[in-house]
Amino acid sequence: MPSLETLLAVIVATALFAYMPGPSTLYAAAQTIARGRRGGWMAALGIHLGGYVHVVAAAFGLAVLFSLVPVLYTVLKIAGAGYLIWLGIRLILSKNAVDVHSGEFTAKSPRKAFYESMIVEVLNPKTAIFYVAFLPQFTELSAALPVWAQLLILGTIVNVMFSSADVLCVLLADRVVTLFKESPSANRVAERIGGGLLALLGLNLALNRQ
């Protein structure tokens, strides 16, 4: 088990990254605006579970492939950005009906937010690179646990911290959504805003050279 000092250092350092506006927090907010509170919660859950794919990859060295095969990073980056753009355009052009009394979309929509969010997170190579670059800084070769086990523990803590920021964004975005509940036209505007945010986020990821 990592020492208490190491755990505190990880929590403080992660908080600095997690609570700065970033792709996952903006994505969770966009899904909340477009699909309502349940959609936001399911999006946050999808991002969280997708994050564990990167935690396991970092722990067992799979993400090192990005340094050995640079084209793999580019392919995943373009695929993830393209998927975000496609989701955004689909929301903008969607004609799904909304229940203005409940303020929620159809029951299927939040489930789709969950699956889409998990795919977006898994296809984000920057998340993998972050875990590979960040987590080893807090491991100790002399610790009782092997390095891969330390990475799994630390990665879980980091993932939970990032998800707490996503949850905060869902709560804040839900406050905005409540303003649109009584108006069908306002609901449509909210859906388009959410779709536009997703598309812009995808374009930013695609055009970012890092």
Question: Mean pLDDT per segment of 10 residues, for the chain of length 210 residues?
Answer: 75 81 83 86 94 90 67 74 79 57 48 89 82 79 81 92 93 78 63 75 68
**105, 161, 159, 193: CA torsion to nearest 10:** 30
**Backbone dihedral angles phi then psi of residue 104, each to the nearest 5 degrees:** -115, 155
For residue 180, what pLDDT is reported? 62
| Res 66: pLDDT | 60
Instruction: Print burial letters for 142-160: b (CB count within 10 Å at least 16), e (below 16).
Output: eeeeeeeebbbbbbebbbe
Assigned token pair, 127:
């998340």
Residue keyed to tokens 């859906």: 191
Whole-number pLDDT of residue 134: 80
Helix axes 147-177, 4-18, angle to 10 degrees: 40
pLDDT for res 200: 80
Q: Which two tokens stand for residue 168?
A: 């905060």
Three-state secondary structure call for residue 15: helix
Six-digit token string for 7 = 């755990």
Whether the full predicted model's pTM is greater than 0.85, yes or no, is no
- Angle, CA 128 vertex, CA 66 and CA 140 arms, to 5°: 100
